Each structure stands twice: as C-alpha cells, then as structure tokens.
Structure 1
Amino acid sequence: MRALSPDGTRLAPTETDKRSTLRMKKQLYPWQEDCLKKWFANRGRGMVQAVTGSGKTLLALTAAERLQEKVPQELRVKIVVPTSALMRQWERALKEFLADSCGTMAQAPASSSSTTAQTDFSGLSRSTTAPPDFRQEIGLRGAGFKSPADCKYMIYVINSARYELARQILAELKNGYAVLLIADECHRYESGQNRLIFEFLPYIKPYEDCFFSLGLSATLPGGQALQYLSSVLGRRIYNYGMKQAAAMHTICKYDIYHIALPFLPEEKDVYTDITDQMNYLFSGLLRTHPFLKDMPLKERYELLRTLAGGKNRKTAQMASTYINLSYKRKNLVCLASARISCACELIKCLPQAEKIIVFGERIRQAEELYTLLQKHFPGKVGRYHSRMGQQANRNTLNRFRDGSIRILIACKAIDEGLDVPDAATGIILSGTSMQRQRIQRLGRILRRADGKEYASLYYLHLEDTVEDTCFLPDAKETRLFELEYLPDTREFLNQPYDKAAEKLLSAMQSAEAGEKALAEVQRCLRLGSVRSDWLPGRCDADVRIKEAKYVSDKNYWICMKKLREL
C-alpha cells in the first residue's frame, strides 16, 4: 500500500474569508496541519492525543475532506462516539463544516473497478460535482435514532455500533466505497463489548487500501490497552498536550486554585478510625503478600479483589474487608459537608454574569448543592446527571448554552460531550484520582471564545486525607493559587492576597474613611480573595472601571487597582 501524500500549506485568509464566521472556523492551527501531514504519511491511519478544546473535531472533519479529494472512490465516513450528547455535538459540527465547505466534499463516482487494486492518487483534482444536500447525507444511529445505514456520514453511539458497525463497514468496502472510521474518545473502545466494532478487521485484507482510521482522545491509555488500540486504529501519530496548547494559544489562559477544606470533628474521627482499621488489615496482608506494598494503586486493588474471591478464607476476609473500608473512606471524603458550603460561598464571590460548571461525583451531593444554590440564584441553576433522564439533561444543556441558566451542576456523565466555549469557570466539588477525568474536566472550560480572556478551575480537596492535594496540569504558563476555606466563618484564606488586602484597609483607616466606605471595601476584598484580578497582567483595571455598569462593580475594580499599586 502506497503512502498518502501530505496536503499543501495553509493559505492566508482572504477578505471574503474574514467576512465569513464559518470560514474562519475552518482555518487550522499549525499543530492540526502538522498532525494531518503525519496522518497522511502514515497511510491515513493512526491515533491523535490532543487536549480537550484544541480542535480534534475540526481536525477529523478536515482529514475526511482532504481524504475524499485524494481517493477515486466515494468516501463513507463512520464516526463512533461514547454518548448521545457527543453524537449531537458531532452532528452540529458536521452540518456547519459541510455548509462551509460548499461542496468540497462532493461525492465522487463509486469505482466500478476491483477494490483490490492499489489506490492511485496521481493526477486527481478536486471534484466539481454539485454538492449534495448534506442534511440528507448525515445519519444517526443510537439514542432513539435509526437512520438508513447508507448515508455518507454516519454517527454512531457505541452501544449501537457494537452490533452493526463492523458488518456495515465490511459491506461498504465490498461494494467499492472507501471508508474512514473516526473513533472519538477512542480510549473507551479497548475493552469488553466495545471491541466488537473492530470485528471487521480480519476480513478486509483484500480492501485494506480503501480503509482508513483516525482515533481521537485527550488521554490515550498505556500498556496493553494502547497496544490493542494501535493494532486496530494505527499507532499514536501525534501528541498535543496542555503545555503546547497553552504556549500556542489554542486554548485560553487559565488559573488553578487549590482550596483546602477541613473535616468536621465527627467526620475526622470516623475517617481516623477507618484508616486505622485499614492499616491493621494491610499489615496482615503484607505478611503473606509483601509485594502489595510497592504495587501501583490500580494493580493493588485488582489483586485484592482476586484475593477476596480466593480459597484462603482468612486472606479473603481481610482483603474483602479492606476493600469495603476503602470505599467507605472514599465516600466519607467525597461527601464531606465542607464541600457544599465552600462551593456555595465560592459561587457567591464569582462574577454574576459568568458561566460556571460544577463537577461532582455523587448525585446526592449534586442535588443538595442545586437546592441550596436555587435559593441564592433562582432560575439560574441547572443539574445534569444520569437520574434526570435524557430529555431533561438535553434541555438543561440547551438552557446552559443559550444563557438561560449560568450555573450547571454535573456528575460524571458530563466529563465527555459538553461543548460550551463561553463557560469560563469550573469547580471540582469532589475530586477524582483518574488523570483522564481531570484533563477532561479542565478541558471543558479551556475552549477559546469571543470575549473570554481567562478560565479558572477551583479544585476542592480535604486536608490530611488520602485525597490528592494538588491538581497540576502540564503547562508552565499556568498560575497556581493555594487557598483555605473556613466553614465556621465562611471565609477564604489566601495568604499573599490577605497581606495586600490588610495593607489597603490599614491605609483607609489611617485616612479616616467612614464606616460605609470601609464596609464596601471589605465587601470588594472578600470577592477578590478567590480571584486573580488583583495581580498585574490579569486584565486592564482602568478599562473595567470605565466599562462597569454598576457602582458595586466599579468599586470592586477600584479596589483591585489599588491592590496592584501597593
């Protein structure tokens, strides 16, 4: 099989392009052009690891467009996604892309020659066939949709793709089509029943020159999982991480805030008791299985589950009890009462027009925070989780996108599939030890959008527990702030900021400012304690003062300006 030749360099946008929003969206970043060259050089196969928000969807659709220009057959594009929310997101992106392309992906006549012949790309030019009605060219399978399987562009939810995609790909290859399989969030397809989507691979050798694949993920797995995905989708051809994306400004600038929380005394007592029991049991297990000590956490728990089902009754009992206690301790940390109080007070301090996503791990916790926030921000809060139902969740996302609500409380179901570029603030209500989930959640707020200067992620964690105390992305330009929350007084401690704030208050007291003026300054300083507006370079305070619509906002920015001048 001969390698596909890389595409040419990107052209500078014309005045017509500048007048078209859609056309501007199609201009690729340098990393995308470089990635496409590598993909074509690798015969149109491979996986791409790129940070969420950097443009993986546009990359894939451009790959399909350019591939159609290079192959003589009609190209059929199969897109597999893990959730119905992602299916709708891809449908919107595809419709926009095809409308912008104005027929550049027009169908080429199906080849009547044998599909076993080598593909020849020499002398091919862009098709001049009139563009099809792309609305009829897009099919959906899954989440209640069952479009005809012969649409040019088919988007499948994985649950439906398992039992029909392999058969459909093989049939289309036999009928003379070229096929591009785009596996979005491809790390989800390496295990269990999801592998069924690749069952066609052993049977396509006569047609392999007409089959192409592109895997997309923000967090590709390692080890055997990566080996399997490489065997079905092609090797990893590109890695575009947080550091590169921040340096190249393909994602917006962002700050990370670590907020340390305390247990209530009674919660701390229970946590200590559980930890003591776990330490005692683990010491006993180490006497017969000393290698447990140095095993990575994931592998350790896999072995413990094996031991819990083993024939040695004593070891099985110890392992089973240890696992149950670990779940109980994790639940205690996750549901610590300080989290709800902290999140609520934090949101009160954030800009009133800002869109906020709160990420939680438990539905019970999400509902509790939702009820509390509705009292403070009636009609402006929504929740999204598995018990809400698909239509209710869909309605909530639509309201969040159009601005009807500005605070979205979500559980794990939204880690993949949320595309709201103007959301600028994320709050991790209860943490996750999975690096993949961390990156995905951060990526939800990093997409660039008009008027969006900065993004902020607040990571709430319990002090002196097994919970990770840091959320460190791979980006040198990121600023990291360490805060503490005091539930009794509902205050945030931010040492560098607090020192500057105290100097400003002292200066005003020395100038014999009135009680009302001091109270207003204290209000503004409380809001600023959880933001970085007081630091030089964050934004132009003079512009904010001039543009402020309300006296309260103007006063806030005056205080931030004075803090910068100290």
Structure 2
Amino acid sequence: MKDAIDGGFLTPYYYYPCLVYLDPEELEDYNELTRKIIRCGGIAETGETSDYVEKLLIRRARIIAGCKSKIDKLIEVIEPYKEDYHMLVYCGATSYDRTDMDDDDQVRQIDEVNRRLYTQLGMKVCKFTSSEDPERRIEIKKMFVDESLQVITAIKCLDEGVNIPAINRAFILASSSNPKEYIQRRGRVLRKAEGKEYAEIYDFVTLPRKLEDVKYLDEEERKRDLNLVYREFERMMDFANTSSNPTKSDFLIAKIQETYRINKRAFKEESE
C-alpha cells in the first residue's frame, strides 16, 4: 500500500480513527459467543473451523459491525461535511431491533444510516448494494460523479471490483478483520481521479468499553477484552502507518496501550 501511494498509483490519505463502544447488552452477547467459540474448539492453527464455529464467528462479527453507537457517531462526524460531495459510508451486513427506534420491525444498518443522513442532515444519499440492477448502478455512479448525490452507502458491493474513483471521503462503520479484505477496501477509496489530491478515511474503531472503565476490570476480564481490542488495534495501526498524518493516531494508540498495559510486540501473543 505504501509503495503504491509513494509511486503515485494510489492517492495519499489522511486517517481519523473514531472511537465507539459496545453497550452492556452488546458486550455480554459478544462475550457469550466468545465462550461458545472456545468451548467448540475455536479456530485451529491452520485457520480452519467447523461450520458451527464459523456461524458463531459471523454472529460475533456482526455485533461489532452493528454497534448501535456507530450511527450516532457517524452523524456527529459527518455533519461538518453535510454540504460536501463524493462521500462513501461502508456499513455492516447487520440489522437493528427497531423496538428502541419507534416501531417493532428490524431495520438494516444501511437503511438506518440512509434515513438519518436524509432526515437529520438533509443529505442526498443512495445505497449501492447487490439489490440494485446493473442499469441502476450505472445511474447511481453517474449521479455521484455529477454531484446529484452526496453520499453512497454500501455493504460489500464495492468490494466486488466496482470502481468509483471520485470517492474522496470514506466513513468505515464496518471493517473485516481480514487484513487482505480491509486493505483492498481501502484501495477502493484511494483510486486516483481528476482533481483528487488526497482522500480522507474515518475509521470507526469499536472497543468493548470506555477506556476510563478498564481500570475496574480484573485480569481475566482485561484479557477477554483483548480478544476484540487487538483486531481493532491492528487495523488502526495499519491504517495510521501508511497515512499522511500518522501522528494523528499516536495519542489514541498510546492511550490504548497504557490502559490495557500492553506493548505492540506482546499485543498479539497476549490477546490470543
């Protein structure tokens, strides 16, 4: 990635991590799934898992992707740009129970993002998913480039070879824990386009709890937190290291290290 940026094949970018936290119910569900995964043998050294464990891993990943506080944080972070264009929001393949959102239905994260961007900020937004046929996708891309749209929201569709170079600001609500996948996803945002000098990436980093609350944990609870913290920390480090503003993340990185009493070298080993 760094070589591609330095060589002028990809656009330089500025990276801004945005902290969000699981609520108590989400954290309990996450920990319960982790306990089940461990009881069922977890992930083998070869990386292989049983079908049942794979389903548990997907359910656990969706808790992180669907962390309820992400949409509130998105509204806060994107509001200064509500008059701008060429923005992308990557959402998770997850749904929310709308009993706490004024009705009794389930709603996909991407639909809730679209609704709130439009109703709260008055932004022109359209989803770009596998549900749209090829003709509609072409139309959406044209509207995006022509600034008839401000924001495209997507789940995985843009990972499938779709190229929209005009994207210059991305808000990543959900990231794969697979480095190959999130590097590829980042590359989609960094495609070069006329007049595009740099891109901006807002990465929603999900932690089990607020950092000031970690001091109340016992050692077993702290180590259990590391299961989630490491994956988010690893991605944050990777994004920061190849950005044009790596020092922007230094304080947060140091704070996480200090709070969880870890160092980068021992981080992976301790969290496994």
Task: State how far apart, in whole Å, the 2-side matches of 1:333 and 1:448 are.
Answer: 31
One-letter amino acid of the counterpart of residue 48, structure 2: R
Q: Aligned to 1:390, which of 109, 134, 137?
A: 134
In structure 1, give the amino acid aligned to 2:31.
Answer: T
CA contact (8 A) 1:259 1:482 kept: no
Check 1:253–1:400 CA distance in 2 against 1; reply closer, same or farther (3 A cut). same
- Specify the alignment match of 1:149 in structure 2: none
> How far apart, CA to CA, are the structure 1 residues paired with 2:90 and 2:203?
10
Q: Indicate if the aligned counterparts of 1:416 and 1:440 stay in contact, CA closer than 8 A.
A: no
Q: Please, which runs of 5 or more residues in structure 2 have no aligned partner?
A: 95-107, 209-226, 256-272
Which of 48, 73, 83 matches 1:352?
Answer: 83
Contact 1:431 1:461 in 2 (8 A): no
Higher relative contact order (CA 8 A, sep 6+): 2
Q: Give a deviation string over 1:408-452, Cα, whole Å, max 9, x none.
A: 101211124443333211111111123333223222222333433
The offset of 1:254, in angstroms, is 0.8
The answer as to whether partners of 2:33 and 2:56 remain within 8 angstroms in 1 is yes
User: What does residue range 328-343 of structure 1 map to in structure 2 within 5 Å?
Assistant: 328-343=59-74
Q: Distance in 1 between matches of 2:72 and 2:150?
A: 19
Cα distance change on mapping 1:447 and 1:365 into 2, 3 Å: same
Structure 2 CA distance, aligned partners of 1:380 and 1:342?
19
**Alignment CA distance shift 1:243-1:344 (3 Å):** same
Q: 2-side partners of 1:433 and 1:459: how far apart?
A: 13
1:110-149 matches, cutoff 5 A:
none
Tell me if the contact between 2:79 and 2:121 (Cα under 8 Å) persists in the aligned partners: no
2:188 equivalent among 439, 444, 451: 444
How many Å apart are 1:475 and its aligned residue? 6.3
Deviation larger for 254-263 or 375-384 = 375-384
SS at match of 1:395: helix
Aligned-partner SS, 1:422:
coil
The one-character-per-residue Cα deviations of 1:187-217 (angstroms, maximum 9, x if unpaired) are xxxxxxxxxxxxxxxxxxxxxxxxxxxxxxx
Task: Please show how residues 181-192 of structure 1 align to structure 2 within 5 Å.
Answer: none
Q: Which amino acid aligns with 2:72?
A: S
The DSSP-based 3-state class of the residue aligned with 2:48 is: helix
Sort the Cα spacing of 1:475 and 1:261 in 2 relative to 1 into closer, same or farther, 3 A.
closer
For 2:16, the equivalent position in structure 1 comes to: 257
> Which residue is 2:37 aligned to?
278
**SS of equivalent to 2:204:** strand
Partner of residue 468 from structure 1, selected from 232, 236, 239: 232
* Alpha-carbon contact 1:356-1:423 (below 8 Å) kept: yes
> Aligned partners of 1:460 and 1:409: how far apart in 2?
15
Where does structure 1 lack aligned partners over 5 or more consecutive residues?
1-241, 286-291, 306-319, 485-492, 497-566
The answer as to whether partners of 2:123 and 2:150 remain within 8 angstroms in 1 is no
Q: Quick check: 1:431 aligned with 2:181?
A: no
Specify the SS of the correspondent of 2:149.
coil
**Contact 1:380–1:404 (CA under 8 A) maintained in structure 2:** yes
Partner of 1:70: none
Alignment of 1:375 onto 2:119? yes
Displaced runs of 4+ in structure 1, greater than 6 A?
Answer: 493-496
State TM-score, norm by structure 2: 0.69
Give the 3 Å change call, closer, same or farther, for CA 412–375 of structure 1 in structure 2: same
Q: Which amino acid aligns with 1:404?
A: S
Shift of residue 476, structure 1, vs aligned partner? 4.9
Contact 1:382 1:407 in 2 (8 A): yes
CA distance in 2, matches of 1:375, 1:494: 35
Q: Distance in 2 between matches of 1:462 and 1:477?
A: 20
Contact 1:425 1:455 in 2 (8 A): yes
Give 1:278 deviation, angstroms. 2.6
The answer to whether the 8 Å contact 2:14/2:243 transfers is no
Deviation digits for residues 446-502 of structure 1, max 9, x if unmatched? 233343332111221321453433241596563233399xxxxxxxx9999xxxxxx
State which of 27, 51, 56 in structure 2 corresponds to 1:268: 27
- From the superposition, tell whether residues 280 and 417 of structure 1 become closer, same or farther in structure 2 (CA, over 3 Å): closer
- The alpha carbon displacement at 1:377 in A equals 4.1
- Aligned residue pair count: 219
The structure-2 alpha-carbon separation of the partners of 1:379 and 1:281, relative to structure 1 and needing over 3 Å to count, comes to closer
The 8 Å contact of residues 257 and 483 in structure 1, kept in 2 or not, is answered as no
Tell me the distance in 2 between the aligned counterparts of 1:418 and 1:406. Answer: 18
Counterpart amino acid of residue 468 in structure 1: E
Equivalent residue of 1:300, what SS? Answer: coil
- The residue that corresponds to 1:456 in the other structure is 200
Please provide the CA RMSD for this pair.
Answer: 3.1
Letter matched to residue 366 of structure 1:
I
Which residue of the partner structure matches residue 249 of structure 2? 482
Shift of 1:367: 1.0
Q: Does 1:412 align with 2:178?
A: no
Larger radius of gyration: 1
| Residues 62 and 93, structure 2, Cα contact 8 Å, conserved in 1 | no
1:373–1:494: structure 2 CA closer, same or farther, 3 Å change rule? farther
Cα separation, 1, equivalents of 2:180 and 2:253: 29
Cα distance in 2 between the residues matched to 1:483 and 1:341: 25
Identify the match of residue 403 of structure 1 among 135, 147, 166.
147
**Alignment match, 2:4:** 245
TM-score, L = length of structure 1: 0.35
Please report how far the alpha carbon of residue 372 of structure 1 lies from its aligned counterpart in structure 2 after TM superposition. Answer: 0.8
Residue 361 of structure 1 corresponds to which residue in structure 2?
92
Q: How many Å apart are 1:279 and its aligned residue?
A: 2.6
